[in-house]
Amino acid sequence: MQAFTFKRYGKSPDVGLATTARPAALKANEILVQVHAAALNPIDNMILTGMFKPVLHFQLPATIGSDLAGVVTAVGSQVSRFKVGDAVFASIFDTGTGAVAEYAVVAESTAALKPANLDFVQAASIPMVGLTSWQALKERARIQPGQKVFIPAGSGGIGTFAIQLAKYFGAKVATTTSSKNLALVKSLGADQVIDYTKQEFDKVLLGYDIALGTIKGDAIEKSIGILKPGSKIVSLVGPMDKAFAHARKLNFVLKFVFGLMSRKIIAQAKKRQVSYSFLFVRPDGNQLSDISTLLEAEKIKPVIDKVFPFEQAKDALNYLAQGRAKGKVVIKIV
């Protein structure tokens, strides 16, 4: 079969389509999915640099991507939730395998039935951003109706989903974007939109309950300044912290390193009586089912910037790396 792979970490990862063995034997709790569409996420480019090498383990050459939607073609002996012919979607992030391929092995626990009202391209755009937003807002931040939530980069993949989810939970949302995307984020429900080309958000916003960290640089430090005491900042881009290292059962050296990396931001947060944490999304089929219900009820809609054919997967990865995508970048395989 054909798969979109990388051969090494660093500046020359040697990415491209390659012929690989089609998965043969399944474990008892796995399903084999013929992938119809797969989506890319910014972390895919970060993985290629080797940034997450101590945390994410791949056997090189490895297949790129985490999000997929497709049709079940085989099931393991103990699979009970799916049958051959079911249309499913899933995130296989952090499972040691990739999604941008003609076939993918998927743990039953990570998959859900595809929303009936979405096609495969739309469904493939959802898992990573959907689960990240759900786990950040509902699990980690424990969002409540009426709270004020700051979601920077509102026109990006995470932003376009998280804005809609926060609004569904009854929150008031502020976001940042460029002039050309103001209408988009307002259409998704953002209550206050700051054009970052004209204003700095930390000079405008104040008294927020939750902030998501979605942009590298000093944006997270600035976000602390807009939060009120007792509030929470959940970072999706780092710095990774000691709690994350403990949860991953990493060695002493990495626990020490991550502790150093996050020491400054945690100290700044404590001064403001704000809690800081780093979130590493996990695959979760049950949460995807809950998200699917919202999608089918049209409480949330997919936002897709561009769809590439399978043979242009490398172009899709390069396009995403530019950081200008409005919503998700998807690769159509079937």
Q: Is 301 exposed, middle or buried (CB count within 10 Å of its CB: 0-12, 13-18, 19+)?
A: middle
Instruction: Compute the distance between CA of residue 70 and CA of residue 127 in angstroms, rounded to an integer.
Output: 13
Tell me which of 294 and 55 has the higher pLDDT.
294
Q: What is the average pLDDT across 143-167?
A: 97
Instruction: Compute the distance between CA of residue 269 and CA of residue 60 in angstroms, rounded to an integer.
Output: 39
State residue 294 phi and psi, 5-degree precision.
-65, -40
Q: Kindly state which CATH superfamily the domain 129-278 is placed in.
A: NAD(P)-binding Rossmann-like Domain (3.40.50.720)
Q: Is the pLDDT of residue 135 over 80?
A: yes
Q: What is the average pLDDT across 44-58?
A: 91
Report CA-CA distances (Å) from 302 to 8, 180, 225, 328. 33, 19, 32, 8
Instruction: Compute the distance between CA of residue 314 and CA of residue 185 in angstroms, rounded to an integer.
Output: 28
Kindly list the domain boundaries of the chain, sorted by start residue. 2-126+303-332, 129-278
With a CB cutoff of 8 Å and minimum separation 6, the contacts of 170 are: 144, 145, 146
Percent of the chain clearing pLDDT 70 (strictly above): 100
Q: Kindly state which CATH superfamily the domain 2-126+303-332 is placed in.
A: Medium-chain alcohol dehydrogenases, catalytic domain (3.90.180.10)
Tens digit of each residue's pLDDT (9 = 90 or more) over 90-104: 999 999 899 999 999
Cβ contacts of 220-227, under 8 Å, gap ≥ 24: 220/265, 221/265, 221/268, 223/150, 223/152, 224/265, 224/268, 224/269, 224/272, 224/274, 224/276, 225/272, 226/150, 226/201, 226/202, 227/272, 227/274
pTM here is: 0.95
Report CA-CA distances (Å) from 64 to 33, 139, 187, 265. 16, 27, 32, 31
Percent of the chain clearing pLDDT 90 (strictly above): 86
Question: Strand, coil or helix: what is 55?
Answer: coil
Structure tokens belonging to residue 122: 């739309």
Longest dimension (CA), the chain: 58
Question: Strand, coil or helix: what is 62?
Answer: strand
With a CB cutoff of 8 Å and minimum separation 6, the contacts of 262 are: 239, 240, 241, 242, 276, 278
Question: Strand, coil or helix: what is 277?
Answer: strand
Specify the pLDDT at position 251: 86
Query: How many CB atoms within 10 Å of residue 282?
Result: 16
Instruction: Compute the distance between CA of residue 13 and CA of residue 263 in angstroms, rounded to an integer.
Output: 32
Q: Is the pLDDT of residue 217 over 80?
A: no
State residue 89 phi and psi, 5-degree precision.
-140, 155
Omega before residue 239 within 30° of 0, cis? yes
pLDDT grade for 33, boundaries at 50, 70 and 90: very high
